[in-house]
Copies of this chain bind each other. A is one copy, B any other.
Amino acid sequence: MPLRPNRPLPLATPAGVEVLTRILTQGPIPRVQIARRTGLSQAAVTKAVAPLIEAGFVTDEPVAPTEGSGESQLGIGRPVSPLTVLADSVSVIGVKVTPTGLIGVTTDLTAGIRTVRHSPLRDSSTETVIPRIVELARELMDFLDDQANGAGPLIGIGVAVSGDVDAAHGVVRDSPFMGWREVPLAATLTEELGAPVVVTNDVRALTVAEHWFGVGVDADSFAVVTIGSGVGCGLYLNGEVVSGAYGVSGELGHLPLAPGELICTCGRRGCVETVASSDAILARTRETTGRPELDLAGAIELAHAGDEHAREAFDQAGEVIGSALAAMVNLVGPELVVIAGEGVADYDLYEQRMRRAFSAHAFGAAGDCRLMLRSHTFDDWARGAAATVIRSYVRGEPPLQR
């Protein structure tokens, strides 16, 4: 039974979708600017906007001028009335699943985070995790239902999981971190929650958030590279996030750039993650220091204190991540690379060797791309899941089709 979003968008044509997307990601924006950027006539823009204003998703009322901007508009004559999305018109829930806990957020239509809930997990089995996702989502749904919070009606729930996730069918095909295979997560959650559920790869979700509400608003192409418990990559190329013909893409952590004798958690040999995941760094540090009791925080502390064994483990990781970044830019040549993930908190331990390896292997002008650090919170992953729901909602894609 297909579920309809609680508050359907009045979008009947591709032009309408295009226009709302511009207002959502580039607003406040005048009609004439939308016409210029989309190639639509001004009349077509006005026609597409009217029902969105009528239904309360968009406004052309003058927005309160921000400080300093009021003065400059004086004397220009009739003020242009730019179009702005009414962020509170709907709400979205985003959940990021990790082996040790769930992070849930509610956002508005512009992926602005309104509430955050964390929920620790004692194990990562589907028997434990799925009921907890249901519980967390229900809590957030109750929060949204409470009129006092002023939130718009819920349009859908996004769930982000690492690994090979078949978003079209809502199935987690293979998530080594979670130990999940062929889990029909979307169907189960939809039945339990009675709301449309989008299941997506976590790094791709982060990339969708950057595309619509982050660096992608200004960049023609970019990559999001995440370092931490895994090494992942999302790509935005030719106007769209790369999703892979068979659902797999951006598996930077599984390029065969590390020594072939190392076996990855995925079972393959020489994957980047055999050296560069936080578990690999910890294992290496334990081994070389002869201190099996160390945890990751301890290894990081040792490295910061200058312990050469611990530093060497981070150096190796930096080296392989730098080579992987070079491999990626040599292949797809993005304008910008955003480095994210929980590993960026200790980026200073990787950075030097990473940049050196990157420079050594980046080919010609591909090396001109800017490497940009994105400070990390786990909430961003959950927000990515919400951004994926927003995108499906605006585009009228399953399970949020109109």
Contacts and interface: CB of A to CB of B under 8 A. Distances in A.
Given A269-B360, A328-B331, A366 B238 contact: no
Contacts of A268: 360-361, 363
Interface in A347-371: 360-361, 363-366, 368-369
Interface in A300-348: 323, 326-336
A364 B233 contact: no
A252 interface: yes
Contacts of A327: 255-257, 327, 331
Contacts of A332: 235, 242, 244, 249, 331-332
A333 B201 CA distance: 14
A221 B238 CA distance: 12
A50 interface: no
Interface in A159-217: 163-164, 166, 173-174
Contacts of A240: 238-239
A366 B249 contact: yes
A269 B356 CA distance: 13
**Most B Cβ at <10 Å: residue of A235, A363, A365:** A363
Task: Please state the number of chain copies in the assembly.
Answer: 2
Contact of A242 (B39, B237, B335, B336): B237
B164 A365 contact: yes
A30 interface: no
Interface residues of A, number: 54
A43 interface: no
A384 interface: no
A323 B368 CA distance: 26
A203 B169 CA distance: 35
Nearest to A222: B245
**Most B Cβ at <10 Å: residue of A235, A246, A251, A330:** A330
A253 to B, nearest CB: 9
Nearest to A357: B256
A363 B330 CA distance: 20
Contacts of A401: none
Contact of A330 (B248, B366, B369): B248
A75 interface: no
Contacts of A88: none
A62 interface: no
Interface string A253-270: 011110000000010111
A87 to B, nearest CB: 28
B255 A331 contact: yes
B330 A251 contact: yes
Given A164-B365, A251-B366, A360-B269, A245 B335 contact: yes
A247 interface: yes
Nearest to A329: B248
B257 A256 contact: yes
Contact of A239 (B163, B239, B255): B239
Given A237-B237, A239-B239, A248-B329, 12 more contacts: A163-B364, A237-B238, A245-B369, A246-B365, A246-B368, A251-B363, A252-B330, A254-B330, A256-B326, A256-B327, A269-B361, A331-B332
27 contacts: A163-B364, A164-B364, A174-B364, A220-B245, A221-B245, A235-B332, A238-B238, A242-B333, A243-B333, A244-B332, A244-B365, A245-B333, A246-B365, A246-B369, A248-B333, A248-B366, A255-B326, A255-B330, A255-B331, A256-B257, A257-B257, A266-B363, A268-B361, A268-B363, A327-B327, A327-B331, A331-B331
Interface of A: 14, 39, 163-164, 166, 173-174, 220-221, 233, 235, 237-240, 242-252, 254-257, 266, 268-270, 323, 326-336, 360-361, 363-366, 368-369
